[in-house]
Amino acid sequence: MLALALAWRLREVLLLVYVSALFAVVLMPAVNGIMRFGLRGGRHLSRGPAILLLLGVVVLALTLIFVLGLPPVIRDFRQFASDLPDRVPAIVARAKRIPFADKLGVDAIVDKAEAALSATAGYLFSAFPNWVSEFTDLLAALVLCIYFMLEGEYAYGWIMSLVSVENRLRLAVTLYKAEVRLSKWFFGQGLLMLILGVCSTIVFGLLHVRYFVLLGVLMGLFNIVPIAGAVITVSLAALVAALDSWTKMAGVLIFYVIYVNLENAFLTPRIMRSSVNLTGLMVLISLLVGTELAGIVGMLIAVPTAALIAVLMDEYLVQKDQKGPPTAP
């Protein structure tokens, strides 16, 4: 009971440690790949320089995104915010031409939307201290992740020493399977995010949708959250397209329907394969549980955590059939 009470008191710290360890696990194959890369004279990089090189690549990629990609996104967002008040009357007039619009209470919906926008703006201003706290937690998670990559094997060895010798090998093999599955999920999900972001930006640009750069970036980033992220971003893109015409809105929806079918039928089976091996129902349940327990962070780590739990349950809980020789009736 004392241990449970202490764990509840330190639940935020434990969540931070778990997230850092999880990302350290999925990033270690990249670090090991850099360490295996041969230098002149047959030398290899040690773990510390390999981690620094990986961080340098990440920082360089983020710098390129901020320098090249962020200014158009900020410009589009500012333009969207300035145009929205002028666009609302046109949207209302267009919505009133829809059959049975008077029964839907369009004016009341618009009033509630404007009140929600005002409340959102006030919340964003008042929530600035929370942003600072979240940024501090992000830096702490980054430092912990680096330390897990540097010294994680010592922590792993200590934890394994607490397990009996006869069960240690079985647990080690199970955790290795989980590590491989998590790493495949991470890199596969990153590739799917990149493909969706690039395709969305190109298609939205060809359709002349307003703020297509911002929408394309959001489509790619939010794809890390299965199902929920896609629903949010495609709804936002369709709403922005509807500011100009229903034709553009239909084009956005048609593009996304086509992309989802291609992703489910072609991309996901070939990129992800059996990396996660979870059904759609399990993904939905894991997202609901993760969101309820830890909010946005829980939503982000819900699927890899479910994959980890699935590996452990498959090894220790699932009762597999032992087919023996047939017997006579």
* pLDDT (tens digit per residue) in 80-95: 667 666 666 666 666 6
Confidence of residue 109 (pLDDT cuts 50, 70, 90): low
More confident residue, 184 or 196: 196
Better-scored residue on pLDDT, 38 or 328: 38
Confidence of residue 76 (pLDDT cuts 50, 70, 90): low
pLDDT: which is higher, 303 or 326: 303
Q: Structure tokens of 50?
A: 């390999």
pTM assigned to the model? 0.68
In this structure, of 106-115, 142-151, 296-305, the range with the lowest mean pLDDT score is 106-115
Q: Which of 207, 198, 211 is nearest to 259 (CA)?
A: 198
302-316: average pLDDT: 86
**Has residue 122 got a pLDDT over 60?**
no
| Confidence (pLDDT) at 102 | 56
**Residue 289, both tokens:** 């549980």
Binned at pLDDT 50, 70 and 90, residue 106 comes out as: low
Query: 194: which 2 tokens?
Result: 């990149």
pLDDT band at 276 (very low <50, low <70, confident <90, very high): low
β-partners of residue 38 are: 44
Using the Cα atoms of residue 206, residue 213, residue 298 and residue 52 in order, give the sign of their dihedral. Answer: positive
Helix, strand, or coil (residue 207): coil
Whole-number Å distance between alpha carbons of 15 and 133: 15
* Mean pLDDT in residue range 224-253: 81
Name the nearest CA neighbour of 303 among 313, 293, 290.
290
In this structure, of 32-46, 87-101, 151-165, the range with the lowest mean pLDDT score is 87-101
Mean pLDDT of the residues in the chain: 78
Domain locations in the chain?
Answer: 180-316
Confidence of residue 328 (pLDDT cuts 50, 70, 90): low
- What would the mean pLDDT of 216-229 be, rounded to a whole number? 78
Centre a 10 Å sphere on the Cβ of residue 227 and count the other Cβ atoms it contains.
11
pLDDT in tens, 164-187: 888 888 899 998 888 888 877 777
65-74, 192-201, 286-295: least confidently modelled range: 65-74
Question: Residues 241, 226: contact at Cβ < 8 Å?
Answer: no
What was the pLDDT predicted at 192?
Answer: 83
Mean pLDDT is highest, among 9-13, 43-47, 209-213, 228-232, for 9-13
For the ranges 18-22, 115-119, 178-182, the maximum mean pLDDT occurs at: 18-22
